[in-house]
Chains A and B, each alone.
Chain A
């Protein structure tokens, strides 16, 4: 079973032209790569495009993967480069005042938004786990996460509201996200 294989073995199978192996890699890392792209680009549509481009680029260059680094790091690096390319392209577009017609062709690879019943169940399970993870954070960390994500306040506004130094607020957000990552490790990885 492909699910039982680690990333390195899956890559080895993909290099040997096993399409299912690469499909398993995509399934396993799709959501995290999408989240990384979302963290860099800040927009879901752009992040989805960048994630698609990342896996296309990985598939094209999978023969060059030598196993010196982890597969996740390799994918992260491809994703970062892809996001920077996307940002650079967006800057060029805005500078040249190109209309949106030029970008339509690049959205061909956007995944359909529908959800199967199995994925809907998965998504609801994930919501429960995330809710529990956020609730289990210490109060000071949960407070800044709620203010940042739900209230959509800037770091400066949180700093003024809580009467804390700006660096302390950033540090608390970073720590909260780190702790959440540890609690969410058991989450399913596919994009819901």
Chain B
């Protein structure tokens, strides 16, 4: 089988390109003029056009109706994408670096503030532990705790000698009874008492983290009075 154009015009490549619309406009004009004049090339072009159309029709009838198959690719597996690559890709975006910087600064600021606040609170409590307030001698049936300086922890604070100290009263725990109320509570919380021996008096030191109820205060006062009397 001889596969050559029967005409001697040598327009084979041009005819193929023209048939698939891949010829330049100048070459197209040249070929079209030639096809009008050359019967052999017209027949040749008709022959290859017929073959081409048969293949085109075969494809259209047999393959075009077929649905394109769909594939569910396991994209979650992440083929070959490491964490470092993902982080690098995230920072490759323009807005990512400022955003991450701001977020890191905010996190560091919050953590630092929390640490400072916690440290200052511990220092204050520790200072109170190191410098316990001496318990003054009982007067007029009341126990009094001499606090050194002002104490902000209302839960461990005892009323001072001054009955009209509203500032201290306002700091008391709401569960605590006022000084004027009688002692009725049966709920007694443990009290850590430190007693120091002076010449003629003993001082009880309350724990900084706890406070004594009035009932507890009364028992302490009685014990101290009995000891005081005995020593005398």
Contacts from A to B (Cβ < 8 Å): 31-36, 38-40, 42, 69, 72-73, 76-77, 79-81, 84, 123, 126-127, 130-131, 133-134, 145, 148-150, 154-155, 167, 170-171, 173-175, 177-182, 184, 187, 192
Contacts and interface: CB of A to CB of B under 8 A. Distances in A.
Contact of A170 (B3, B17, B56, B58): B17
A155 B22 contact: yes
B1 A123 contact: no
A104 to B, nearest CB: 25
A178 B13 CA distance: 13
B55 A145 contact: yes
A178 B61 contact: no
B32 interface: yes
Contacts of B111: none
6 contacts: A155-B22, A171-B13, A174-B12, A178-B3, A179-B3, A181-B50
Contacts of B59: 149-150
What is the predominant secondary structure among interface residues of chain A facing chain B? helix
The 5 closest A-B pairs by CB, nearest first: A39-B49, A35-B53, A180-B51, A177-B48, A177-B51
Contact of A171 (B12, B32, B45): B12
Contacts of B57: 126-127, 130, 192
Given A81-B36, A178-B48, A167 B1 contact: no
A177 B12 CA distance: 11
A77 B40 CA distance: 10
Contacts of B53: 31, 34-35, 38-39
A76 B22 CA distance: 22
B13 A69 contact: no
A182 B2 CA distance: 10
Contacts of A81: 36
B49 A84 contact: no
Contacts of A69: 39
A27 B55 CA distance: 21
B54 A155 contact: no
A39 B49 CA distance: 5
A149 B56 CA distance: 7
Given A84-B36, A130-B54, A149-B56, A39 B17 contact: no
Contact of A38 (B1, B39, B56): B56
A36 B3 contact: no
Given A40-B19, A69-B39, 15 more contacts: A32-B50, A39-B53, A40-B45, A76-B42, A77-B42, A84-B32, A126-B57, A127-B61, A148-B20, A149-B56, A177-B16, A178-B3, A179-B1, A181-B50, A182-B1
A50 to B, nearest CB: 12
Contact of B43 (A73, A126, A150): A73
Contacts of B46: 32-33, 35-36, 39, 72, 76, 79
B47 interface: yes
Contacts of A173: 16
Contacts of B48: 39, 174, 177-178, 181
B63 interface: yes
A73 B61 contact: no
Contact of A187 (B12, B17, B54, B55): B54
B49 A40 contact: yes
B42 A73 contact: yes
Contacts of B42: 73, 76-77, 80
B208 interface: no
B150 interface: no
Contact of A155 (B17, B55, B61): B17
Nearest to B35: A80
Given A35-B54, A80-B35, A167-B13, A155 B47 contact: no
